[in-house]
Structure 1
Amino acid sequence: MHNDTEESRLADMPEEPQRRMPFAWFWPMLAGALVALVLRIVFSGGPGHRFSPMLGSFVYFVPAVCGGVTVYLAERIERRSWGYYLWAPWVATALFVTGTLAVFIEGIICAIVIVPLFAVMGSVGGLAMGIVCRITNWPRPALYGFALVPLLLGGIEPQLPNPDQFSQTSRTLFIAAPAARVWHSLNEARDIQPAEVGEAWAYRIGVPMPVSGVTVDTPGGRVRQVQWQKNVHFEEIITEWQPERVLKWRYRFTPESFPAGALDDHVMIGGQYFDLRDTTYTLTPRDGGTDLRIDVSWRLSTRFNWYADRVLQALLGNGSENILRFYKARSEATTAIAQAAR
C-alpha cells in the first residue's frame, strides 16, 4: 500500500525539462562544415590528378556530405522541419568555405564563385538525409555511404576526359572620338590606374587589375605585352591587324605568367580547366565618333561547365563593359585635349 502511494506521488510530479547542450542549434552545422573541411584537405591534388578540388566528385558531393552530416546530427537531437533540411546546409557550407579560407587552402576568388553551387548541393544532401531519417531506420549507414561517394569517385574521375565547352561574350559602346584615337588607346594603354577599371566585378573578388597593355613589333610579329598587378604578365599575339578597323589577338601564357598567389592556383588561366582563347576589337566609325565592339572567347573543361560558364558570362561580360568604358574615357580625354590645343 505504501509503495502504491509513493508511485502515485511520483507520477503526479511534473517532469523536469530535458537539458539541452549549449548551442545545440549550431553544432550540427559546425560538425558538417568540419567534415567537409577534412574532405577538402583530402582533395588537394593538382590539376588532372586524383582528388583535385576541381573534380565533379568534390564540387557536387562534398557539399552534399556537408549538408547530410548537418541534418543527421540535428535529427539525433530532435525532429527537424523540411525547411531546416534546406537552410541549415546553407549555413554549414558557408562555414565550410570560410574554413578553407582560414586555413589558406582556398583562394578568395574560387570561394566567392562557388558558394552558390555549394549551397544548392548542401541542401540536396540535407534533404536526402532528412528523407532517410524520416522513412528508414538506417540513417547512419546512409551517411557513411554519402561520405564514401566523393572518395571513391575522386580516385576514378581523373581517368575520364573532361568535356570542352567553348563560349564567348560581346559588348559594344559608342565613343565620342575618331577611330584613330580609339585605335591608339587600344595599342598604348599605359599606366592604368585602379580607379579607371576597379568597378569590374572580377577585380572586386580578387583578380589582379591591369597595369598596361602595349603593342610592340617583334621578330615574330606584333605582340601586345600585358602587365597586371601582383607581377602577372603575359602576351597577346596579334592575329588580325587592320588599322582603325580590327584588332584581334590570341593569348600566350607561360608558367611564369602567374606568380604563386596571384590567382587561385588550381584554376589558372591557360590551364587544364580554363583558358582565354582570343579577343577581337572592331571599330566602326559613325557620326560623332566610333562604335567599339569587343568579342571575348574562352574554353571550359570541367564537370560543371553548365555552372562555370554562367559565372564566366557574368564576370567576363561585366569585365568587357568595364574595359570599353576605360577606352572610352581615355579616347575622349585625348580628343578633348587635342581640340583644346587648337
Structure 2
Amino acid sequence: MAAPTYSRRATALRVGLALTAGLAFSLGVYLLAQATQPSGLVSFAFLLVLPAAVCAFIAYVADPWGRRSLGFYLMIPVWVLGAVIVLSIIVLREGTVCVVMLSPLWLGSGLIGAALAHKLRNRGKGATSRAVALAVLPLLAMQVEARLPVPEASTVVTRRIVVDAPPEVIWPLLEGVPDVRKGEGRWNLSQDVVGVPRPQGARLVGEGVGARRLARWEHGVAFDEVITEWEPGRRIAWRFVFDDLDAWDFTDRHLRPDSAYFKVTTGGYRLTPLADGRTEVALHTAYWMKTPVNGYSRLWGEVFLGDLENNLLALIKARAERAA
C-alpha cells in the first residue's frame, strides 16, 4: 500500500508538535540537571547527548513514513537551535555568553543526531519505539556520567603589545588606571557584541606584595587583585579575589569566575624593554576548569579572555604613548 502524501499544513503541524515535545523534554532535563547537581549543565550528557537525541526524536516524529530528504532532517537542528536560543534568553534568563558557547555544540550534535536518524529511519514497525528510546538516552547518559570522574585542566591566556614608551612611563598604568573613559581600549567581539562588561577603573591600595588592586567593571562588577609579585618597572602579578559573586548574575550564572567548574586564579603584567626604546607589555590570565569538554572550553577562554586582555593593553598603550 502506498504511503500517504504530505500536505504542507499536516507537515507543519507535525513538525511543530514534535518541536514542542522536544523542547519540553529539553526543559525538563535542564531543570533536572539544575536541581540534582550545581554543574549539571556543564556535562557531556547535556551538551552533546541531549541535542543529538532531541533532534533525532523530532526528525522521527516529523517524518513518520521515512520519505523526507536528508536536507529536511538537517534543517531540524537549525530550527531547534533557534527555539533554544529564544527559550534560553527570554524564559530561562541565560546570559548571552552561555548561549554563544552552547550554540556550536548543540548545532553540531543536533546535525549528527538528525543525520543518524535519516540513515537509520525505518518505514515499518518499531519506529515509534525507537523514537521514544532516543528521548530516554540523555537521562541514561546523565546517570552514567554522574559516576565518572570529570577531567580538570589549568591554562593561561597571554596577549602582548609593543608600546612606544619606556617602562618607567608604563609602570604607573600597571598599578592601576582609576578613570577609564568610554571609548578607550579596543573594539572586540566579547565586549561590544556579546556584552561582556568593560573596565571602568582600578586603583592600588598599598604597595608591594600584599597590596590590593581594586577593580571596577560595568554592571556593578567589582573584584580585588592581591599582589603576589612586585618588581617596579618590570613586572606585577596578583591572585584574584571574587567576594561579590552576586554582581555576575547580570550575564551568566553558570560562568561565574569562582565556581565549582571554572575559576579565574591569577594574572599579571610583564614589561620587556626593546632595543629601539620601545617596550613590550605582556598580560596573562590563568584559570582552572573542570568540565567534560575542557578542550572546547579552552578555545572560548582564548576568545573571551584574549579580548579582555587586548582591550586593556590597547588602553595602556594609548595612555602611555600620550604621556611619553
TM-score, shorter chain, exceeding 0.5: yes
Query: Does structure 2 retain, via aligned residues, the 8 Å contact 1:247–1:280?
Result: yes
1:183 CA displacement: 1.0
Q: Specify the alignment match of 1:234 in structure 2.
A: 223
CA 1:127–1:316 in 2, change beyond 3 Å: closer, same or farther? same
Structural mapping, 1:1-342, within 5 Å: 20-22=7-9, 24-25=11-12, 28=15, 31-32=18-19, 35-44=22-31, 45-46=33-34, 49=37, 52-76=40-64, 79-134=67-122, 137-197=125-185, 199-203=187-191, 204-217=193-206, 221-254=210-243, 256-259=244-247, 261-286=249-274, 287-335=276-324
Query: Does structure 2 retain, via aligned residues, the 8 Å contact 1:236–1:251?
Result: yes
1:113 CA displacement: 1.7
Whole-angstrom distance in 1 between the partners of 2:85 and 2:141:
21
1:105 CA displacement: 3.9
TM-score with structure 2 length normalisation?
A: 0.87
CA 1:51–1:125 in 2, change beyond 3 Å: closer, same or farther? farther
Unaligned runs of 5+ in 1: 1-16, 336-342
CA 1:213–1:27 in 2, change beyond 3 Å: closer, same or farther? farther
TM-score with structure 1 length normalisation?
A: 0.83
Whole-angstrom distance in 2 between the partners of 1:214 and 1:221:
14
Whole-angstrom distance in 1 between the partners of 2:139 and 2:194:
30
SS at structure 2 position matched to 1:261? helix
Query: Does structure 1 retain, via aligned residues, the 8 Å contact 2:165–2:278?
Result: yes
Whole-angstrom distance in 1 between the partners of 2:208 and 2:319:
30
Query: Does structure 1 retain, via aligned residues, the 8 Å contact 2:202–2:215?
Result: yes
Q: Which moved more, 1:50-59 or 1:138-147?
A: 50-59
Higher Cα Rg, which structure: 1
1:271 CA displacement: 0.6
1:88 CA displacement: 2.6
Whole-angstrom distance in 2 between the partners of 1:30 and 1:321:
47
SS at structure 1 position matched to 2:203? strand
What does the per-residue CA deviation read over 1:159-182, in whole Å, with 9 as the maximum and x for residues that have no partner?
543211111222221111121221
Whole-angstrom distance in 2 between the partners of 1:312 and 1:241:
26
SS at structure 2 position matched to 1:251? strand
Aligned length: 318
Whole-angstrom distance in 2 between the partners of 1:201 and 1:47:
33
Q: Which moved more, 1:19-28 or 1:229-238?
A: 19-28
Matched residues, percent identical?
A: 25
Which of 1 and 2 has higher RCO (CA within 8 Å, sep 6+)?
2
1:300 CA displacement: 1.6
SS at structure 2 position matched to 1:236? strand
1:65 CA displacement: 2.4
* Counterpart AA for 1:53: L
Whole-angstrom distance in 1 between the partners of 2:267 and 2:152:
19
* Counterpart AA for 2:82: A
1:331 CA displacement: 1.2
Q: Which moved more, 1:58-67 or 1:215-224?
A: 215-224
